[in-house]
Structures are given as structure tokens and as C-alpha cells.
Amino acid sequence: MKKLVRIFLLVLCGASVCSPAGACTNFIVTKGASADGSVMVSYAADSHALYGALYLTPRGRWKAGTRLPVYDWDSGRYLCDIPQAAATYGTVGNMNEHSLIIAETTFGGRSELEDPTGRIDYGSLIYITLQRARTAREAIALIAELADTYGYASSGESFSIADPGEAWIMELIGKGFEDDGRGGNARRGIVWVARRIPDGYVSAHANQSRITTFPLDDPENCLYSPDVISFAREMGYYEGPDETFSFCDAYAPADFATIRGCDARVWSFFRTVADGMDRYTDYAMGYNPDNRMPLWVKPRAKVEPKVVFDCMRDHYEGTPMDMTADIGAGGHGCPYRWRPMTFEVNGREYLNERAAATQQTGFWFVAQARPELPDDMGILWFGVDDAATSCLTPIYCSATQVPECFSEENGSMLEYSPTSAFWLFNRIAQFAYLFYDRVAPVVRASADEWETAQLEAVRKVDAEALGMSPGKRAKYLTAYSTRTAQKLFDRWNELDKYLLVKFIDGNVKGEDAAGFIDNGNGRGIPGRIEQPGYNDRWKRAVAADHGDVLKVVE
């Protein structure tokens, strides 16, 4: 997603032809690489202006001549009307009732290829396609058809497209504008390529195009627009033979900014689940762009869903880019750097790291298409706000109702709501950012406990639902999904109160053997209060900066 994040490109890319949004992250796990045989896709919808909510569209049947209005997902700007399909599938979030999953990250690419006359943006491509396609291959064909028919209204995109059988990466970009003499665009449409991730492998993308060369005669594993190479030649982006053509090098060349701010997130995921990734550390840091990572890797062991959940919480811990380890983390090891993305000292420019977990996440999920179960039993593990200080809860893909705490109608970015999960999780996150080394571990332990319990609970729900008719099953799974989400909301409300009582004013109140805050004499006066202060790195930095004034003199 690209909402309001172009400052990242302006500052980091400089005169580069690339224009990444630097905003979203997708991890993809094929069924042969997952511990439970599911296909998994993760997504963080990151934007400083996006309200975290769960979108739902019921299935429908439509009269001939019905029109569907199209609005730009980022801005809400009206784009056009298109003919409505005769029948549409139900969707919840970025998943439909047949367990088709579509997620995205914006890579931007060459700015001259944006089409000001385009009428289908990347968000509309996702949600319209989810309503009309059953499989990943159908989705790829439909995305191309829609963009070519109505014109593409966004910049370069990478899509994760998965169903219960397979997972694909599709990358596309517009073709710019050329007047056709009638006020239209002679270049309307997109150039694109889609690659199927081999079963047993994992892949990822994070705001930088990642497809390089691709097989030209393997439609089982690679699909592409007929002019993807010839158009690059026409535009002067490529001169070599077809066999060595690289999509990303032609349409979205990488530079320091896109590698360090984008591909580094892919590298961190890869190194968590696969061996040998430290050989690409210099690439991830932007120091050696020739040492490019592969598009997919084979994990050292089958990947558990909880591992994918936790990879979305990454801040480069344990790497040279560890955001908790330098003085920028402050006196409490906070792994966040407020925008803008760069700063200048004595004429030298420096960057703020961009990790998978980030403060501006609107919503995030890990979707599971599960081939061993009916297609209507896929699960969207859904959460709102920063992944590191929030929690996922299971929403079945056949759900026909959204929990109140996740409703689009419940609050907004400009309207606080006490019953909104987005505002509740943000409130806890803001407190955690102040005392991260104290508060965040408590929040993370609560999230781990909840998610582990729910992963176990859905097994029993699955077994119960399998014996039902599809209609009865949808009602049962909807009730379970909404009820469980509201339980999480109630639990997090209690956590919010507990954190404030325990950590108010920089103090840490002691607890008794049962885990309750120590009531001392029983009259509401704390029995024990600790004041841990700041970490040693911070103390040394303060002493070096201002010690002459702060030193104690005998």
C-alpha cells in the first residue's frame, strides 16, 4: 500500500527511477512448506492514514445491466462504473469464501509508467477479483483483464495470490500515457509476470519488485503479458535477448533505498525459517546489490502458523540492523523510529530502519487456505495496529458478519470509539512505546498465550463444523469468529487496565505469588514499588552528552 509514504522515496531514493511506497509486507508459505499442510499468506496494511477494520462483502446475484462503482482504495476518489458480474462470492478481508487469498505490496517502479487516465486501482483489483474468482489462476487472468480493459490507476504492485492448492507472485506495472488521438490512452493496460512458488518453498515481497528472469515456455509455473519484454525494449529499458530479460531490473531497478528499506524485510523472514541466509547480509543492508537473494527458499523445517505470526513482529532482532540495540532505541529499547525515514547530521544523511513490525499498521493478517478441509473453512487470522503489540484472532472465510470491534462503521482515524479494537490496540501500543522493555514483554506474552490457545481451539471447531451442511456451517463459523473476536477485545481491555496500574509513572509495582499486583496492607496501597530506571547504554549516552552538568559532586 502506498498511502502517504512517498516521503520515503523522496528522501531515500533521490534521483532514482524507483518509487517504492515502503509500506507493506507479505510472507508466503506453500502447502508443502507448512507444518499443517496449509497455504499461508501474511499481510501488513501499513499506512499513517489507514483505519484498521475488517471488510466484508456478502455474496450476491445481480440483474443484467447492474453497474459496480469503483473507488480508489487509498483516497476514496471515484474512478468509474463497471458492469457487475451476474454472481459474486462472499469475501471477508482479503479472502473469499473459496479460500482465495490476495495481498499486496507496492513497489512503485518507473514513475513515467503511471497512467493518469486509469480507472482501476490496485485495491479495487484485489477486492473485485476476490468477488469474481475461485482460484489463483482465475485471479491472475481477471486482474490482467480488468487492468487492460479499464486502465490501471496505480503504480507498480506485487500481489500474493493463493488458493488451497498453490501460491503465486504476480508483479505488474502500467504503461504510461500516449494520446491515441481521440483523448484516450494508446498504452492503456499493464505489463506483468506471475510465477508459481514451487511447493515446499517460501517466498516474500516487501515493496520492491522481486521477479528477475523467468521461464518463457512454462505456463504451468509462469504466466506473463505478451508484451512484457517488447514494451521494455520500446521504452529503452532493455536491449538483450528474451531469455535474459529481468522484470524488476527493467521496470523497478533496485537501489540502496529499496534494498535496505524493503528487501531487508524479506531477508529477515528468510533467515528466520531457512539456513544459509547470512550470506546475503551485505545485500540486505544495501551494501552489495549484486549479491541478490533468490525469489524463494526452502525452509529448514516445516513452518508452523505461529512462526509466521511472529515473523510479522520482527524488528531485525539479532542482526546488525537490530532496532532495539542502538542508542536510537532510547532508554527502554524501543524498536521504533518516528518518521521521516532519514535524518541529517553535519551534512551527512542517515536512515531510520524499516522492519516488518511498524507503528503505522492499519490491519494485518495471516491467511490460511487449507486443502484438507472444504474451501469455505479457510481462516483469516486477523489483527489491527502494530503486529508486535497486537494479537491475531481466527475469522473463518465463510463468515457473513464482522465483529463489532472490527467494523468499518465503528470509529475512524478521526473518531475515537471505546468499542473499537483499532483504538484499543493503539492505546496499548502507545503506552508500550514509552516503556518498551517493561510493557512490551507483557503484551507479547498475552498475545502468545491467546494465539496458541486459538490455534488449538480451531481444531475442535473444525471437527464440529465438518459434520454440518454448508449453510449451517457458515452460521456456526460466523458465530464462532465474531464471538471469539469480541472475547479478545474484552481480554485486551483488561490488559489495558492492568498495564496502566502496574507501570504508571515509570514505576513497576510488584506482584504476589498468584500473579496479582501486590496489595500490601490490603488497603489499596502498593506493597512493593520498583524503579528500574533506564538501560546502561542510555545512561552512558546521557553522561557523555550532559555529564558536566549532571555529575554528582562530593
pLDDT at residue 526 in the model:
85
Are 127 and 245 found together in one domain?
yes
Residue 431 belongs to some domain of the structure: yes
Q: What is the pLDDT of residues 297-310, one digit of tens each?
A: 999 999 999 999 99
Q: What is the pLDDT averaged over residues 175-198?
A: 96
Are 537 and 426 found together in one domain?
no
Q: Helix, strand or coil for residue 33?
A: helix
- Please identify, among 253, 287, 318, the residue that sits at the C-terminal boundary of a domain: 253
Long-range (24+ apart) CB contacts under 8 A made by 281-285 are: 281/319, 281/320, 283/259, 284/259, 284/260, 284/319, 284/321, 285/259, 285/260, 285/320, 285/321
Q: How does DSSP classify residue 412?
A: B
Residue 502 belongs to some domain of the structure: yes
Domain that holds residue 528: 509-550
Q: What is the pLDDT of residues 525-550, one digit of tens each?
A: 888 899 999 999 999 999 999 999 99
Are 150 and 24 found together in one domain?
yes
| pLDDT cut 70: percent of the chain above it | 95
User: How many Å apart are CA 126 and CA 538, to the nearest integer?
Assistant: 46
- Please identify, among 234, 253, 272, the residue that sits at the C-terminal boundary of a domain: 253
Residue 306 belongs to some domain of the structure: no
User: How many Å apart are CA 332 and CA 312, to the nearest integer?
Assistant: 22
Q: What is the distance, to the nearest Å, from the Cα of residue 289 to the centroid of all Cα atoms in its chain?
A: 24
Are 490 and 522 found together in one domain?
no
User: How many Å apart are CA 28 and CA 295, to the nearest integer?
Assistant: 11
Asked if omega into 340 is within 30° of 0 (cis), the reply is yes
Are 421 and 394 found together in one domain?
yes
Using CA atoms, how far residue 119 sits from 79, 81, 139, 369, 485, in Å, is 5, 9, 18, 31, 36
Q: Helix, strand or coil for residue 64?
A: coil
pLDDT beyond 80 at 520: no
pLDDT beyond 90 at 176: yes
What's the pLDDT band for 8 if we cut at 50, 70, 90? very low
Residue 325 belongs to some domain of the structure: no
Residue 111 belongs to some domain of the structure: yes
- Please identify, among 253, 277, 311, the residue that sits at the C-terminal boundary of a domain: 253
pLDDT beyond 60 at 88: yes
Q: What is the pLDDT of residues 316-348, one digit of tens each?
A: 999 999 999 999 999 999 999 999 999 999 999
Q: What is the dihedral angle through the alpha carbons of 52, 114, 78, 384, rounded to the nearest 10 degrees?
A: 0
In total, the chain counts a number of residues equal to 554
Residue 326 belongs to some domain of the structure: no
Find the farthest-apart pair of alpha carbons in the chain and give their distance in angstroms, rounded. 89
Residue 402 belongs to some domain of the structure: yes
Using CA atoms, how far residue 53 sits from 60, 107, 483, 526, in Å, is 22, 24, 16, 39
Are 431 and 539 found together in one domain?
no
pLDDT beyond 70 at 32: yes
Are 412 and 543 found together in one domain?
no
Total domains in the chain come to 3
Q: What is the pLDDT of residues 308-322, one digit of tens each?
A: 999 999 999 999 999
Q: What is the pLDDT averaged over residues 60-72?
A: 97
Are 44 and 63 found together in one domain?
yes
The answer to whether 337 and 353 are in contact (CB under 8 A) is yes
pLDDT beyond 80 at 9: no
Are 71 and 191 found together in one domain?
yes
The answer to whether 480 and 460 are in contact (CB under 8 A) is no
pLDDT at residue 262 in the model:
97
Q: 15 or 306, which is more confident?
A: 306
Are 439 and 514 found together in one domain?
no
pLDDT at residue 527 in the model:
81
Are 51 and 130 found together in one domain?
yes
pLDDT at residue 521 in the model:
67
Q: Which three cell numbers stand for residue 435?
A: 516503556
| Least-confidence region, from 19-23, 51-55, 209-213 | 19-23
What's the pLDDT band for 20 if we cut at 50, 70, 90? very low
Q: Which residues pair with 160 in a beta bridge?
A: 103, 169
User: How many Å apart are CA 180 and CA 431, to the nearest integer?
Assistant: 56
Q: Helix, strand or coil for residue 240?
A: coil
pLDDT beyond 80 at 440: yes
What's the pLDDT band for 512 if we cut at 50, 70, 90? confident
Residue 358 belongs to some domain of the structure: no
pLDDT beyond 80 at 382: yes
Are 495 and 513 found together in one domain?
no
Q: What is the pLDDT of residues 393-434, one digit of tens each?
A: 999 999 999 999 999 999 999 999 999 999 999 999 999 999
Q: Which three cell numbers stand for residue 341?
A: 525515514
Q: Which residues contact 444 (CB under 8 A, 6 or more apart)?
A: 313, 388, 389
pLDDT at residue 457 in the model:
98
pLDDT at residue 169 in the model:
98
pLDDT at residue 361 in the model:
97
Q: Which residues contact 281 (CB under 8 A, 6 or more apart)?
A: 267, 319, 320
